[in-house]
Structure 1
Amino acid sequence: MTCVNGRCVKYFCRCHSKWSGIHCTISINGQICSIDSFHLGITYNQSVCIFPLNKFGSRCLITSTCPMNVCKNNGKCVPADVSVSNNIYTCICPDRYFGYNCQNLKARLNVSLIGIDIPAYVVGYFFTLSNQSNPITTIKLQKLTLFQHSVTFYISMVYHMVMVQANNKFYLVVIQQLPQIDLSTSIRPSRECIPVKHLLNSTILNMTQYRRIVFFHKLCHINYDLTCFIDEVYFCLCTNEHHANCMEFKHNRNFECKLKKYCANEAECIQDHPTCPSTRICICPECFFGNECQFYAKALGSTLDEILGYEFKRNVILSQQPITVKVSAIITMIIFLMGLINCILSIINF
């Protein structure tokens, strides 16, 4: 391929400034786009301009700005295209806040995993209960790393009950009458919601659904330490009076992404909704890591990000950090001092 005013990069031309076209033969007027924008090229005899956040229009000549301090709590304001009616700006909020101006605080739930094999990801089911309607379920996905023993959920909905799915097992996490804005708890094997196939005999299991549900109350009455259990259709809680309080629950949801383009290196893609997902995560194969599994680490072994990334606590001094962080910091400082002393002695001797 011949690139007249550019450089050949494999099978296409990377044109020099002010040139475009397949062979970089089309001269570009530098004033087609605004001075603070970038002219990408010409498509269908029309220039393509890439402009900064506060510019709009085909030539990036229309200016739009955000009102002063309109986005609260460190939100990022993106000015709107002035050509669109009733559209002024958009606030991109931090994880902990939501609302048109990032003015509302999300509830935070921190869950520690104790005595449980660390899964690749966990699913949080947040139930909003009401006497006037059926329970509303909100689903949150969170990816975990190899050494991560806790996970934090941020949710804008008011919730009364939470269940977490990890390694195809379900654990009851929270039951609360008055919603709280900040909670920390843990899950362990004793909090697992047992499948009914491990609690009922084969004769009852082979019954139809409406006949089998009669025996659910008996499970709570016989097993005083039983907190919850699930079957193909229902999720049941055992009350203080040892009765079964059940609601419909679809536990065999398919979280697989419909398209395979979101993750690299044949990673598994999962999302929280089949058609309109708000969260999409990639489950990396061995030796790959990153949000899209785009990084390869076989030659490096485990990275510090994998080992200590989730141990650090934000805005907390070193003395109040976990013991793993303290030990790592001390070892790092010792190695640094030994290296410094070794350099000084080498300079003195030679």
Structure 2
Amino acid sequence: MSDWFCNRGIPVMDTGLRRCLCPSSYFGERCENQRERISIVLHIVSSPKFQRNNAIKVILYLVDTASQQILADEEILHFPYVHSSYKHLVLLSSDRASHSFVRIDTYEVDMKQVIGYRASWKYDLPFPFLPVRRLAIRLVLSDDNGFSAQTGFTCHTCIHGQCLPYQNSDDVFCQCYDGWTGIGCNESFICASGAMPINSNRCVCPMNRYGTRCFISNIAVCQCRNGGTCILLDARAGQSACLCSENYFGQYCERQHASLKIKTFDIYQPEILPIVLIQFIQFHELDYTYFESTILFERISTIRALSIYHIDHESLPPMVIGKIFYSSSAEDYAYYIILQVPLLIFRKDFQLKYVETQLETRQKCSDVRKMKSFKTPINILTYPYIKRIKYYLRVCSQNNITCFHDEIYFCLCPTQKKPNCNVQNLRSQSRKMSNV
């Protein structure tokens, strides 16, 4: 049998006739035709308030512009706490994808198998003469995405649904109610219990089922520990993973996050703090520090203990600081040293896995703008920042303090009395939490 009978395909015998098994990018009796393909690199960014164990189901469609017919589709299961920096690669192919666009629908699925619609996007595909086109997409799932977030739009036909806009386009579409499908939501469609119909031949399944109508049960096999949940990421490839509880991480949830508990807030403040920023600081050398990660807490009760996890780390860093906002004003705040381990101890393979502490007034960092000694004989605060910072050598040498700050810099005073200053980086790897 000739190797060239099938173009990049596999020749097989079928009742005495030669036929071809074509690769996904080719079609025809002898794989002589090349499919038009859309290559998509997808990065999903979810809100910090997104529930830890919830998943995002992403459905990508290749839609014919004229007829609105779906030419190809693909589904992705995305876990924000597992795939936070992951980029998905999706390939959509069709025999006739020249004049088409890509539509992306997102759904939130929780551990109780409840499905909720989030948002949709539309991406036009220029250059229809090219056989392969590429898209690099960054989807941002914000708190105001959702089925009921926007109303008042009008679709040409929307019988059993709600007319909604795309997140990135002025175009609108009909988002069907449960049990209905079609362009105008005029076709009834039955899925398995708990599933949601999305087009004439597909349903969005809860995490424990799969298939076009979600009648097939998932059987995920993995050795999850410490209360982790085994989930099936891809039913076709049999790929599964462990979804860990809040305290654990690792491939099998075998590792425990280092944690810090603030038992009491013994400082002057109201009973509710609107915002508390916790920053983990790592030291490489005495002269070099960096803000490893930041956790943002909202509406913190000062009469309840606050538990803080050092995500994906089994030990705490040598220093943890807190930026406490006393009110909604951006200027009404103070810095506190929550945890400080001497570097000589920390370097001797010393690991802190859990610490209980309390926040007291003596842990407060000085505001350089309120220090009288810094304003005489001249008011250095009137200088530009690039000129002002060189005078910060005086702050550590002339005052018995551990730390200080201004509007831009946060500075430490180590033993040699030379300030170690860093720009306040509050956006790095931020997560939102609450204890109210």
Which category of TM-score, normalised to the shorter sequence, fits these structures?
Answer: 0.5 to 0.7
**Aligned partners of 2:410, 2:389: CA distance in 1, in Å?**
11
Partner of 1:143: 298
Q: Does 1:173 align with 2:338?
A: yes
Q: Does 1:245 align with 2:419?
A: yes
Number of aligned pairs?
243
For residues 176-205 of structure 1, what are the alpha-carbon distances to aligned partners after superposition, in whole Å with 9 as ceiling and x for unaligned?
223400001122222111121112105222
**Aligned partners of 1:278, 1:90: CA distance in 2, in Å?**
24
Would you say the 8 A contact 1:236–1:244 is kept in 2?
Answer: no
Partner of 1:186: 358
Would you say the 8 A contact 1:125–1:140 is kept in 2?
Answer: yes
**Aligned partners of 1:40, 1:244: CA distance in 2, in Å?**
62
**Alpha-carbon shift at residue 124 of structure 1 (Å):** 0.2
**Change beyond 3 A, Cα 1:231–1:38:** closer
| RMSD across aligned positions (CA) | 3.8
**Alpha-carbon shift at residue 41 of structure 1 (Å):** 4.1
**Aligned partners of 1:42, 1:198: CA distance in 2, in Å?**
60
**Change beyond 3 A, Cα 1:205–1:189:** same
For residues 215-269 of structure 1, what are the alpha-carbon distances to aligned partners after superposition, in whole Å with 9 as ceiling and x for unaligned?
3332223222x1210124432222345x133131226x5xxxxxxxxxxxxxxxx
**Aligned partners of 1:27, 1:233: CA distance in 2, in Å?**
59
Partner of 1:198: 370
The one of 274, 281, 285 aligned to 1:120: 274
Partner of 2:168: none
Partner of 2:40: none
**Change beyond 3 A, Cα 1:207–1:22:** closer
Would you say the 8 A contact 1:173–1:187 is kept in 2?
Answer: yes
**Aligned partners of 2:293, 2:234: CA distance in 1, in Å?**
32
Q: SS in structure 2 opposite 1:100? A: coil
Alignment of 1:217-296 (within 5 A): 217-224=393-400, 226-241=401-416, 243-250=417-424, 253=426, 279-280=431-432
**Aligned partners of 1:206, 1:24: CA distance in 2, in Å?**
65
**Alpha-carbon shift at residue 74 of structure 1 (Å):** 0.3
Percent identity (aligned): 23
Would you say the 8 A contact 2:298–2:432 is kept in 1?
Answer: no
For residues 16-44 of structure 1, what are the alpha-carbon distances to aligned partners after superposition, in whole Å with 9 as ceiling and x for unaligned?
98x7779997465x6xx5xx54564463x
The one of 279, 284, 297 aligned to 1:130: 284
**Change beyond 3 A, Cα 1:230–1:172:** same
The letter for the 2-side match of 1:140 is: I
**Alpha-carbon shift at residue 97 of structure 1 (Å):** 0.8
Greater length-normalized contact order (CA 8 Å, ≥ 6 residues apart):
2
The letter for the 2-side match of 1:80 is: L
Would you say the 8 A contact 2:381–2:388 is kept in 1?
Answer: yes
Q: Does 1:207 align with 2:372?
A: no
Q: SS in structure 2 opposite 1:190? A: helix
For residues 280-336 of structure 1, what are the alpha-carbon distances to aligned partners after superposition, in whole Å with 9 as ceiling and x for unaligned?
45xxxxxxxxx8xxxxxxxxxxxxxxxxx97xxxxxxxxxxxxxxxxxxxxxxxxxx
**Change beyond 3 A, Cα 1:205–1:113:** same
Would you say the 8 A contact 1:39–1:48 is kept in 2?
Answer: no
Partner of 1:159: 317
**Alpha-carbon shift at residue 145 of structure 1 (Å):** 4.5
**Change beyond 3 A, Cα 1:94–1:278:** farther
Would you say the 8 A contact 1:39–1:47 is kept in 2?
Answer: no
**Change beyond 3 A, Cα 1:179–1:208:** farther
**Change beyond 3 A, Cα 1:189–1:163:** same
Q: Show structure 1 runs of 5+ residues with no match.
A: 1-7, 254-271, 282-290, 292-308, 311-350
Would you say the 8 A contact 1:123–1:165 is kept in 2?
Answer: yes
**Change beyond 3 A, Cα 1:25–1:136:** closer
The letter for the 2-side match of 1:164 is: G
Would you say the 8 A contact 2:409–2:424 is kept in 1?
Answer: yes
**Aligned partners of 2:284, 2:322: CA distance in 1, in Å?**
21
Higher strand share: 2
**Alpha-carbon shift at residue 105 of structure 1 (Å):** 0.7
Would you say the 8 A contact 2:196–2:205 is kept in 1?
Answer: no
Would you say the 8 A contact 2:293–2:430 is kept in 1?
Answer: no
**Aligned partners of 2:244, 2:407: CA distance in 1, in Å?**
38
The letter for the 2-side match of 1:185 is: T
The letter for the 1-side match of 2:308 is: F
**Alpha-carbon shift at residue 159 of structure 1 (Å):** 1.6
The letter for the 2-side match of 1:247 is: C
Partner of 2:214: 60
The letter for the 2-side match of 1:125 is: Q
**Change beyond 3 A, Cα 1:195–1:42:** closer
Partner of 1:303: none
Would you say the 8 A contact 2:320–2:337 is kept in 1?
Answer: yes
| TM-score of the two chains, using structure 2 as the length reference | 0.47
Partner of 1:110: 261
**Alpha-carbon shift at residue 77 of structure 1 (Å):** 1.5
Higher helix share: 1
Q: SS in structure 2 opposite 1:123? A: strand
Partner of 1:75: 228
**Alpha-carbon shift at residue 214 of structure 1 (Å):** 3.8
| TM-score of the two chains, using structure 1 as the length reference | 0.57
